[in-house]
Amino acid sequence: MKHKEIIAVYPGSFDPPTNGHIDIIGRAAKLFPKVIVAITHNYNKKHMFTLEERLSMMKEAVSKMKNVKVASFSGLLVDYLNKIDSFCIVRGLRALSDFEYEFQMALMNRKLKKDVETVFLMPEQEYTFLSSSMVREIASLGGNFKNFVPNNVYKKIKDKRKN
């Protein structure tokens, strides 16, 4: 299948976006002419932020990356890839513990859409322990999470914690 331009899709719930996510997006933006950060509602998670809030935070956090767009989708990722004429998924691997789950997802996506390719990127070492759920937990317990998220996200979490 020929594609005019490779569109890499970095899917996730990004609740909230972390510096690790931004690091992976930056790495993908160096490799691909266009990157779409595709935010979805994960029905298996209790979200801190609405989909609209996550879209807004992510758009602000990646605003300086000219070849990165932020969008939302629902349903199967492969259906979204078909809709935007893409075949490339970007996923971050923080540690070996991520690999088994991500490997299974990559194979399932390939089974659902034969030409799908998943590219795994490793974040900067300082982000290998970082996850959105850890940030949510630290924030809920009143801990210092300022260095784990972009400034705009930090402010949004602090505002949400006040309410």
Give the model confidence (pLDDT) of 111-137 as tens digits.
999 999 999 999 999 999 999 999 999
In a domain, 17, yes or no: yes
In a domain, 155, yes or no: yes
Q: Which residue has the higher pLDDT, 161 or 57?
A: 57
Kindly name the residue from 91, 94, 136, 156 that is annotated as catalytic.
94
d(CA 15, CA 18): 8
Alpha-carbon Rg for the chain, nearest whole angstrom, is 16
For position 163, what pLDDT does the model report?
Answer: 66
Q: Which residue has the higher pLDDT, 76 or 2?
A: 76
In a domain, 88, yes or no: yes
The pLDDT-based confidence of 108 (bands split at 50, 70, 90) is very high
Helix axes 151-162, 132-140, angle to 10 degrees: 40
Kindly name the residue from 45, 83, 111, 158 that is annotated as catalytic.
45
Q: Is 110 a residue of the active site?
A: no
Kindly name the residue from 21, 54, 91, 136 that is annotated as catalytic.
21
Over residues 35-51, mean pLDDT: 88
Residue 118 backbone zone (phi > 0: left; psi -120 to 50: alpha; other: beta):
beta
Give the residue among 102, 131, 126, 140 at the shortest CA–CA distance from 15: 131
The pLDDT-based confidence of 98 (bands split at 50, 70, 90) is confident
Residues 37 and 69: beta-carbon distance below 8 Å: yes
The pLDDT-based confidence of 16 (bands split at 50, 70, 90) is very high
pTM of the model: 0.93
100: domain range? 7-162
In a domain, 2, yes or no: no
Q: Is 132 a residue of the active site?
A: yes
Q: Is 94 a residue of the active site?
A: yes
For position 2, what pLDDT does the model report?
Answer: 57
The pLDDT-based confidence of 46 (bands split at 50, 70, 90) is confident
Question: Three-class SS of residue 75?
Answer: coil
d(CA 96, CA 81): 27
Consecutive H or E run containing 118 = strand 117-121
CATH number at residue 53: 3.40.50.620
Assess whether pLDDT exceeds 60 at residue 3.
no
In a domain, 1, yes or no: no
In a domain, 31, yes or no: yes
Kindly name the residue from 34, 132, 136, 156 that is annotated as catalytic.
132
d(CA 146, CA 65): 22
On average, the pLDDT of the chain sits at 93
Over residues 30-49, mean pLDDT: 90
Count of domains in the chain? 1
In a domain, 117, yes or no: yes
Q: Is 41 a residue of the active site?
A: no
CA 84 to centroid of chain Cα atoms: 17
For position 4, what pLDDT does the model report?
Answer: 64
